[in-house]
Structure 1
Amino acid sequence: MENFLRVARLALRRRGTFALAAVTSLLVALLWGFNLGLVKPIIELTFSPHTPHAHLDSLIHSESQRQAQLQQQIDALPQTDASNRARLLHELDDAKGWQGWLQAIVPTLKRILPDHSFKALVLLVGILFVATLIKDGLLVANMMLVERLSQLAVFDVRRNLFRSVLKADVADLSEDRSSGLLSRFSTDLASLAHGLNMLLGRMLLEPLKIVACLVGAAMISWRLLVVSLLLAPLAILLVSRLSRSIKRANRRALDDSETMLGMISEAVIGIFAVRAFGMEAYERRRLHAHNKLAYRRSMRITLYNALGRATIELMAVVIISLAMLAGAYLVMNQQTTILGIPIMDEPLSLGSLMAFYALLAGVTDPARKLSEVINFLQRGYASADRIFDVLDRPVAVVQKPKAIRAIPAKPALKLENVSFSYDGETQVLRDLSLSIAFGETVALVGPNGCGKSTLLNLLPRFYDPTEGAIKMAGLDLRELHLPSLRKRLGVVAQSALLFDDTILANIRYGSPRATDDEVIAAAEQAFAHRFITEKLTDGYQTVVGERGSNLSGGQRQRILLARAILRNPEFLLLDEATSQVDLESEQLIHRVLEEFRKGRTTIMITHRVSTLALADRIVVMDGGSIIDQGTHDQLLKSCPLYLRLQQSHAAGSTRARVA
């Protein structure tokens, strides 16, 4: 609940809107109680033998008689009975105050009310209609204000959540399923908005309506009201216990929904594998199992919600039944006590009793609506907890407050005793040291899992070394201004992403101020301009599809190279940039790299001999350590592992060409 209240505080920052929402809620509640309270004059006018004006005069006369009776009781008491004397004196003061108020207001009421029962009744019904119209107008305004508060608060949470995701450690994002994050942005934020709407709307309005009705009933007889509400604490206790169960059930339901969304996403993304291996039936069974579990969770939530609603309605019927029995006893017998307990100061009239019933009945509708709110609130609590699990997650890779922005031009790169572990136990890099002069092209080779990609990911500070340091121009990367560091880097990876946007926007991504001419020049340098203008219908305005699915592997890589060229980085990082492209694309990319690497430091991961030929130095890695380095010819003679890797790659290339 604490996290949910944090979101509520975001909404309360809009003080003007909240104040208007609170005022409209109060006015709606007052008019709700006023309309129900009109039952009393309507009943009394309908059944009274007197005209309206005579009836008003009789009210003043009744108060005078009551004061005389109280004075007689006081005079009859012995001087030693101080407690009863004080009680009766207090009642006498109240009666005088009530009579004074009546004497002040009756002349005004006589001017307003016709001295004809039916005409006065028509006037009261007209007042009821106008009051209801005003109440409904205020209710519409209240709903709009509450929705504005909740949507603006969720707007802030969504913005902060996206910022948090963009700043989160790559390790955390790798561990989180994409479906989990998407679920938080969709299902959880929707549940949060609904819960917040309930909190600021119904949880404010409905209790005020209940209070208005209870105050009105207390004005008729507060003692009779207490008798009627004897069982109310039991209902509150039962509903509070059910609400805790609803919150747990909602949290499990949201987790199950996230799991099912992930399973569906995997099946859709991997549809070729699903069909190729004939796993449709297996995927259907998986979905059926998750779907069945989600159904059971939903039914449990519905059961708890229904039990809460039934409890509220049952208790409401019991309360009204007690009030009906007690009130009927007082009216039918013209009594002021029940079992010797004083309930009324004077006998209860039929109109007062009917108004009392109406006001108690008026409590049941907001109480029923509050019971329906519980499920939405508990779901909102659970969603807030899931969202703040991401928002409150600490970030390991952070920029220091006084980070260095001015990085010297053409800096050298040096790795000093670098070690790294993803989980804090298994070392992926071990005590690795390497110096790279500016302008040098270095290739990293080694078997899968030896730490090549991890090493490359340390340079843009996707991760930080667990031991040692990486320095640029003698400055530890952790001391540098993070955007200034990454601005000097251009990354082209095998798994790099094209966004579902135009080719122009994808090349410009990372260089938003680049002109169209500069984008086209970068595409020409990457040998992408020809296929863009000749093979694509809309040229640079062609939308590439999700993850660039409308382009071939070679075309995607050339777009990514154009993006890096447009950025004009001092350091070019290539992770298997030519591993999944055809021979023609590989040759074109090779020509691009041969020209573009000049005047900048290039670090690339590759096993292709043609690409290795571009390297000034080849670094061989195994088990997270550097075991040898040199040129291609030198390593063929001095490094058995490098020789085996090249022989394996050559054999694989031969089989691929034969196939």
Structure 2
Amino acid sequence: MSTQAQAPGQPLPDGAQALKQDRRTWPTFRRLFIGYVLPHWKVGVVAILAMLALAGTQTGVVALIRPLLDDGFVEQDAATIRFYALLLIVFIVFQGIAHFTSHYLMTWIGRQLVKRLRLDVHDRLLVMPNWVFDQQSSGRLVSKLTYEAEQVAGAVTRAVLSLIQDGARVVFLLGYMTYLSPWLMLIVLGVLPVVGGIIAYITKRFRKISKRIHHAVGGVGSVAEESVHGYQVVKAFGQADRERQRFERVNERNRKQFMKFMATKYASVPLIRLVAGIALAVVIYLVTVDAVVETITVGTFVSFAGAILLLNPPLKSLVAVNATIQKGLTAAQSIFDVVDAPQEPDHGSRTITRAEGRVEFEGLRFSYGGDREVLCGIDLDVRAGETVALVGPSGSGKTTLVNLLPRFYEPTEGEIRLDGVPLQAYRLADLRRQFSMVGQNVMLFNASVAENIRFGAQGPVSDEQVRAAADAANATGFIEALPQGFETEVGEDGVLLSGGQRQRIAIARAVLKDAPILILDEATSALDTESERHIQGALERLMEGRTSFVIAHRLSTVENADQILFLDGGRILERGTHRELLDRGGRYAGLYRMQFEDRSEPQSEG
């Protein structure tokens, strides 16, 4: 049977590809609203009512001016003046309550949204195929959880808040101005298309620059992450200046794009203000015409002029919030690209509790993204409990071969069977429970030693079980010598521990998992002799009764393997036991003699 791999030649849209996604703006907004905002509609309704009340009272303050002037000051009626003064205080108190309610509730919805977005992205990261991680830098993926999720939150809180509240203010003010003087209102209506044209242009530019900013931010995160993780390499090779220059380039690119964004944002505000000012100037001029003066009272004119002036802040806010909306929608598109990324294929229905450990490879071929084949027709039968050693030069396909076992990748041709059943027939979670892995580069979490060991178990684990696993891994001695013993925090990626200590914790984790099949990928190659002795003993105990695949460059560590495969160019060139391969005098024998001679050379003095 042939199983086609997921097409790794189709990375997530990013960078230049994102510039083609303008048509997705409305679907993105609709998805964001229906899927993430609408579930909180009850809170949203209260927030909207508070926004409308706030907008209404702001228009009401302007409306107070007309009777205050005409009925109070012009008529010199003290009681009317005092009444409207008291009413003004009531309006201001009501505005304060409405302002707090609307802003607090919209912020609450925004934080709920960003929490849900982050959960969705994180959940998808846990089930995405390996080829996605191969093609996406971790810095860009992390930025979707942090920077871009916050941009979406801003779109929902500040943007939606401003759209509803300021939009209502504009509508209320325009309605009140029409009520005061329909003739003067015609002037304002003549200005609105100009404002609309400016907003339309700015919207298009905001969207374009926003996507460039997101791409630039991902670049900054990627370079920064490499500098942090590779700080020792940078120092060792004296490349601090080179890294500084590389970071400066992406940082400067980000700065330029951001300044273009802000230049557009800040230029739009005075343009809107200028248009509104021209409208007010025309109104002031018209009220000097005799025919108009006779129909407009002092209160009406001041109230109308005040309404025009009050139009400026909401129009300014609506233009400014457009930038936030575009940034938020661009971020949402980027996040949904991850949320919609394909999951690992998991169509199997067969369950398995514990495998016997028999593994068969038949006609196995594999290539990354359709490029050069890494594995070319691998045929192999491994009986339960056997140890198979994979040796050969770097790039020969050893690690790729073992990565196909837990289905981190799918073969392009051929089949792998576990206990006679194709791997794809098993449920993915059940399949992966059959494998324990210990590699050269051990991944430890920023937690205690005990928590890192417990990571190998599927359910609750007692302290006694953790200690037993540490004993089996020859790790109890150094763990108890740590400041807090098993509760000692190991730091990010186990940075507070030595290489040998990290390896033994990884072995303890594999012991606790107790899987029937073991994969050891250069588990001792980077260790000193003493650490290797401790770990080799632990590995031998771990391998007892288990089917084991061992990748090793030090051939002395695989002499007792049941089968030794010498791979080169993705093909098995030689196979057999250690003695059989030595007697054959081929590539394996030559490599073994070379390593033996290196070990037997006397150490030079000095």
Residue 19 of structure 1 corresponds to: 45
Residue 253 of structure 2 corresponds to: 293
- Name which one, 1 or 2, has greater alpha-carbon Rg: 1
1:514 aligns with 2:461: yes
Residue 385 of structure 1 corresponds to: 333
Give the TM-score of the pair, scaled to structure 1: 0.84
Residue 28 of structure 2 corresponds to: 3
Contact 2:354–2:516 (CA under 8 A) maintained in structure 1:
no
Partner SS state of residue 629, structure 1: strand
Contact 2:159–2:322 (CA under 8 A) maintained in structure 1:
no
Distance 1:377 1:132, change over 3 A: same
1:423 aligns with 2:366: no
The amino acid that maps onto 1:591 is G
1-side partners of 2:283 and 2:351: how far apart?
76
Q: For residues 586-638 of structure 1, give each alpha carbon's deviation from its aligned partner in whole angstroms, at most 9, with x where no partner exists.
A: 11222222222222211111132342033111112111111221111111222
Residue 376 of structure 1 corresponds to: 324
Report how far residue 42 of structure 1 moved: 0.5
Q: For residues 185-215 of structure 1, give each alpha carbon's deviation from its aligned partner in whole angstroms, at most 9, with x where no partner exists.
A: 2211111111221332111110001111111
1:477 to 397, 414, 423: 423
Q: How does 1:152-171 map to 2 (within 5 A)?
A: 152-171=112-131
Q: Report which stretch shifted further, 626-635 or 286-295.
A: 286-295
Distance 1:148 1:648, change over 3 A: farther
Partner SS state of residue 430, structure 1: strand
1-side partners of 2:410 and 2:395: how far apart?
18
* Sequence identity (%): 29
Report how far residue 319 of structure 1 moved: 2.0
Q: For residues 18-60 of structure 1, give each alpha carbon's deviation from its aligned partner in whole angstroms, at most 9, with x where no partner exists.
A: 11111111111111111111111001023434x7xxxxxxxxx
Q: How does 1:150-549 map to 2 (within 5 A)?
A: 150-329=110-289, 333-334=293-294, 347-395=295-343, 397-400=344-347, 403-406=349-352, 409-511=355-457, 512-534=459-481, 536-549=482-495
2-side partners of 1:8 and 1:181: how far apart?
23
2-side partners of 1:143 and 1:639: how far apart?
79
Q: How does 1:108-119 map to 2 (within 5 A)?
A: 117-119=77-79
2:517 to 557, 567, 571: 571
Residue 100 of structure 1 corresponds to: none
Distance 1:657 1:522, change over 3 A: farther
The amino acid that maps onto 1:647 is R
The amino acid that maps onto 1:122 is R
Distance 1:222 1:629, change over 3 A: same
Contact 1:235–1:312 (CA under 8 A) maintained in structure 2:
yes
The amino acid that maps onto 2:574 is D
Distance 1:255 1:655, change over 3 A: farther
Residue 600 of structure 1 corresponds to: 546
1-side partners of 2:598 and 2:329: how far apart?
56
Residue 96 of structure 1 corresponds to: none
Q: For residues 385-416 of structure 1, give each alpha carbon's deviation from its aligned partner in whole angstroms, at most 9, with x where no partner exists.
A: 22222222223x3211x611136641411111
The amino acid that maps onto 2:317 is K
Residue 587 of structure 2 corresponds to: 641
1-side partners of 2:371 and 2:245: how far apart?
37
Contact 1:217–1:225 (CA under 8 A) maintained in structure 2:
yes
Contact 2:159–2:324 (CA under 8 A) maintained in structure 1:
no
Contact 1:24–1:141 (CA under 8 A) maintained in structure 2:
yes
Q: Report which stretch shifted further, 456-465 or 271-280.
A: 271-280
Report how far residue 165 of structure 1 moved: 0.8
2-side partners of 1:570 and 1:230: how far apart?
79
Residue 584 of structure 1 corresponds to: 530
Gaps of 5+ in 1: 52-116, 335-346
Contact 1:491–1:564 (CA under 8 A) maintained in structure 2:
yes
Contact 2:286–2:292 (CA under 8 A) maintained in structure 1:
no
Distance 1:292 1:316, change over 3 A: same
Distance 1:641 1:328, change over 3 A: farther
Contact 1:28–1:135 (CA under 8 A) maintained in structure 2:
yes
2-side partners of 1:428 and 1:599: how far apart?
31
Alignment RMSD:
1.9
1:32 to 45, 55, 58: 58
Residue 596 of structure 2 corresponds to: 650
2-side partners of 1:332 and 1:246: how far apart?
42
Report how far residue 654 of structure 1 moved: 5.6
Distance 1:653 1:176, change over 3 A: farther
Q: For residues 144-181 of structure 1, give each alpha carbon's deviation from its aligned partner in whole angstroms, at most 9, with x where no partner exists.
A: 11111111111111000001111111111122111111
Report how far residue 307 of structure 1 moved: 1.4
Contact 2:195–2:275 (CA under 8 A) maintained in structure 1:
yes
Partner SS state of residue 574, structure 1: strand
Contact 2:354–2:434 (CA under 8 A) maintained in structure 1:
no
Distance 1:580 1:119, change over 3 A: same
The amino acid that maps onto 1:180 is R
2-side partners of 1:40 and 1:332: how far apart?
17
The amino acid that maps onto 2:374 is V
2-side partners of 1:461 and 1:41: how far apart?
78
2-side partners of 1:650 and 1:637: how far apart?
16
Partner SS state of residue 349, structure 2: coil
Contact 1:628–1:639 (CA under 8 A) maintained in structure 2:
no
Distance 1:541 1:653, change over 3 A: farther
1-side partners of 2:228 and 2:41: how far apart?
46
Contact 1:443–1:617 (CA under 8 A) maintained in structure 2:
yes
Distance 1:505 1:150, change over 3 A: same
2-side partners of 1:447 and 1:427: how far apart?
16
2-side partners of 1:284 and 1:292: how far apart?
12
1:45 to 71, 84, 93: 71
1-side partners of 2:358 and 2:502: how far apart?
31
Report how far residue 296 of structure 1 moved: 1.9
Contact 1:37–1:358 (CA under 8 A) maintained in structure 2:
no
Give the TM-score of the pair, scaled to structure 2: 0.91
Q: For residues 211-244 of structure 1, give each alpha carbon's deviation from its aligned partner in whole angstroms, at most 9, with x where no partner exists.
A: 1111111112234212222021112112211221
The amino acid that maps onto 1:649 is Q
2-side partners of 1:154 and 1:236: how far apart?
31
Distance 1:133 1:650, change over 3 A: farther
Partner SS state of residue 168, structure 1: coil
2-side partners of 1:523 and 1:657: how far apart?
35
Distance 1:362 1:652, change over 3 A: farther
2-side partners of 1:333 and 1:610: how far apart?
106
Higher relative contact order (CA 8 A, sep 6+): 2
Residue 574 of structure 2 corresponds to: 628
Partner SS state of residue 289, structure 2: helix
Report how far residue 357 of structure 1 moved: 1.7
Q: How does 1:97-112 map to 2 (within 5 A)?
A: none
Q: For residues 223-267 of structure 1, give each alpha carbon's deviation from its aligned partner in whole angstroms, at most 9, with x where no partner exists.
A: 421222202111211221122112222221222222122222222
Contact 2:227–2:234 (CA under 8 A) maintained in structure 1:
yes
